[in-house]
Amino acid sequence: MRLSQAFGKTLREQPAEVEMASHGLMLRAGLISKLASGIYSYLPLGWRSVRKIQDVMRKEMNAIGGQEINMPVVNPGDIWKESGRWDEIGPEMARFKDRSGRDMCLAMTHEESVTDLARRFIDSYRQLPCVVYHIQTKFRDEPRARGGLVRVREFTMKDAYSFHTDQADLDRYYPYMCTAYERICRTCGVPVVKVLSDVGMMGGSMAHEFIYLTDSGEDTLILCPECGYAANREVAMFNKTPEQESAPTGENQAPVEKVHTPGKDTIASVTGYLGVSPVLSIKTMAYFTQEDNRLVIALIRGDLDINERKLANFVGTSQVRLASPEELGAHGLVQGFMSPVGVGHLEVTVDDSISPEYSYVAGANEKDYHFVNVVPGRDFSLDSVADIAAARDGDLCPVCNAPLVQARGIEVGNTFMLGTRYSKSMGANFQGEDGALKPLVMGCYGMGVGRLLACIVEENRDEKGISWPITVAPYHVHLLSLGTGSQVIEIAENIYDKLGQLGVEVLYDDRDESAGVKFNDADLLGMPIRVTVSKRSLEAGGVEVKLRAGEESMIVPLDGFEDKISGLMRHEFSRFVPEG
């Protein structure tokens, strides 16, 4: 491709709306162009990389038995009503009616569509396991798009779906998909960590995310450097046993007593005032559920924090919101002085950090007063106990007891063990070996193409621009001709033709620009190998060759030049393509 004829242009200055380095570089390099909030066009250079990413995905999916299909973006509302998600999903799903008045939607994901296909074409256990995938457009009306391609409204995803006779077969297959995802990311030059995650709106029994670690990420992770435990903070567990010096030593379970605590409306202030450890206090929070607006009281040990995602999952809602002081007052509760004592008419969820073996300090549901000697199970019910605690940096690993660390990252892909969540509700059954009809056991696996592209750029860059992995670079070689001399132009044209005949993808900067502009653009665009033809290089014995990821350049004679480029390409590919 001749740069003089390329559609799009590079930008010297970074646009004002940029939030992440990768976003700025993709705009400046002319890979993408913004049409509306969270909606981008891919320009030729960006689209070439997208197609290469998709080819990497296809290779890995095919290697583990995947068959490529294509399902529509526009879905009838009926199949989403069958699964139950039509009413579960909020305004992020774009709904509309066709000219006949039928409910329709733009697919956010394709579990319903693929389950409809499965119930049409899978009849017998002899057809299982079966894996299909497609690379298709999705639409999700995000309330706040950010980071360029990291969080958008319209996006392309590779999603795969597997069908099995039972959970044991899904358990057997699931690791193959996880390995394939790790290979895709490695081939594309993006290191990822596999972490446990929330099943969210997808449902099912277990899920993992594949996270690219970066401080600019929006996901919070909890990691153990010692044993490798890794989880999204939404589901992360930890050892809640308090440090020995702070641990309750056992107390007489005396009757509840109300004490005056003027202005002490935080855990720190009330425990300091009463001279007790926060470990021996109860933090009481009140939330309303998203779907049915019911009030839920959540209790946790005073030194811990509530994980709202865990709480929402446990009480069966998509999300919870904190109650306002006015809403608390309408239910006889006082902010800063709430208590589980005497609120038996309300729904109460207790974190498993609170033990009936000890007495606690808790609010008295009256301003400036607290209770002491509150005993769980005696003074309030323990009928609804769960893990609703948020893990934090420094908490102890649930596996090996080492200190956990907190990190940030971007979710590149996810995998879900769906089980029979969709097959049961939509009647996708097969005839088992015993002749009985059974629901298909399903797994689903998604990876965002554009988000992976953004992570590639975020990981492979420096202060000058992008430094592409050769596996997904728009072109292998960036060829520059400097000066207007006929010999320089003739040799550059000859190199362009010969490399093209060898199957080397070449971006040829044949523009009438200064050497400074051409070098700056070459660094910004970041093709893996730069070849410069100039009067100076020819006088030195050949052409200048430099790896974008390297520091030094070399003069390569024209005789044997093609072999040198081929060798460099093999070396670059070997850096990213995993064996096997």
The dihedrals phi and psi of 446, each to the nearest 5 degrees, come to: -120, 150
Using alpha carbons, select from 199, 230, 214, 235 the residue that is nearest to residue 147: 214
Q: What is the pLDDT of residues 392-421, one digit of tens each?
A: 999 999 999 999 999 999 999 999 999 999
- Rounded CA gap, 353 and 336, in Å? 20
Please identify which residue in the block is written with the tokens 């990190």.
407
Average pLDDT of 6-34?
Answer: 92
Residues 482 and 523 in one domain: yes
pLDDT score recorded for residue 250: 52
Residues 205 and 109 in one domain: yes
Average pLDDT of 24-40?
Answer: 95
In a domain, 180, yes or no: yes
- Rounded CA gap, 380 and 256, in Å? 11
| DSSP letters for 529-545 | EEEEE-HHHHHTTSEEE
| Strands of 199-316, DSSP E | 206-213, 219-223, 230-232, 257-260, 282-289, 295-301
In a domain, 235, yes or no: no
Six-digit token string for 134: 């497609």
Residue 412 DSSP class: E
In a domain, 141, yes or no: yes
The dihedrals phi and psi of 194, each to the nearest 5 degrees, come to: -85, 125
CATH code for the domain of 496: 3.40.50.800
Choose one of 386, 421, 439: the last residue of a domain: 386
Is residue 567 over pLDDT 50? yes
**Average pLDDT of the residues of the chain:** 93
Q: What is the pLDDT of residues 520-536, one digit of tens each?
A: 999 999 999 999 999 99
Is residue 318 over pLDDT 90? no
CATH code for the domain of 70: 3.30.930.10
In a domain, 467, yes or no: no
pLDDT score recorded for residue 405: 96
Quote the number of domains for the chain. Answer: 3
Residue 306 DSSP class: B
Cβ–Cβ < 8 Å for 271, 277: yes
Residue 511 DSSP class: S
Cβ–Cβ < 8 Å for 531, 480: yes
C-alpha gyration radius of the chain: 30
- Rounded CA gap, 556 and 553, in Å? 10
- Rounded CA gap, 523 and 56, in Å? 25
Cβ–Cβ < 8 Å for 504, 548: no
Cβ–Cβ < 8 Å for 389, 307: yes
Identify the band that residue 485 occupies on the pLDDT scale cut at 50, 70 and 90. Answer: confident
Using alpha carbons, select from 351, 440, 339, 433 the residue that is nearest to residue 389: 351
Residues 6+ apart with CB under 8 A from 219: 209, 211, 232, 233, 408, 409, 410, 411
pLDDT score recorded for residue 580: 65
Cβ–Cβ < 8 Å for 132, 443: no
Q: Which domain holds residue 365?
A: 255-386
Residues 331 and 450 in one domain: no
Residues 34 and 156 in one domain: yes
Choose one of 334, 354, 386: the last residue of a domain: 386
Residues 426 and 377 in one domain: no
Residues 76 and 140 in one domain: yes
In a domain, 403, yes or no: no
Amino acid in the structure at residue 237: M
Q: What is the pLDDT of residues 241-294, one digit of tens each?
A: 876 445 455 555 789 999 999 999 999 999 999 999 999 999 999 999 988 899
Residues 425 and 531 in one domain: no
pLDDT score recorded for residue 244: 46
Six-digit token string for 123: 């009849």
Residues 6+ apart with CB under 8 A from 505: 474, 475, 476, 477
What is the model's pTM? Answer: 0.90
CATH code for the domain of 304: 3.90.960.10
Cβ–Cβ < 8 Å for 373, 256: yes
Percentage with pLDDT > 70 across the chain: 97
pLDDT score recorded for residue 524: 97
Residues 271 and 175 in one domain: no
Residues 413 and 380 in one domain: no
Residues 131 and 266 in one domain: no
Q: What is the pLDDT of residues 67-101, one digit of tens each?
A: 999 999 999 999 999 999 998 888 999 999 999 99
Residues 186 and 61 in one domain: yes
Identify the band that residue 452 occupies on the pLDDT scale cut at 50, 70 and 90. Answer: very high
- Rounded CA gap, 244 and 414, in Å? 39
In a domain, 232, yes or no: no
In a domain, 237, yes or no: no
In a domain, 131, yes or no: yes
Using alpha carbons, select from 328, 448, 430, 371 the residue that is nearest to residue 57: 448
Residues 184 and 273 in one domain: no
Amino acid in the structure at residue 329: G
Six-digit token string for 23: 């976003």
pLDDT score recorded for residue 252: 59
Choose one of 386, 417, 449: the last residue of a domain: 386
Identify the band that residue 469 occupies on the pLDDT scale cut at 50, 70 and 90. Answer: very high
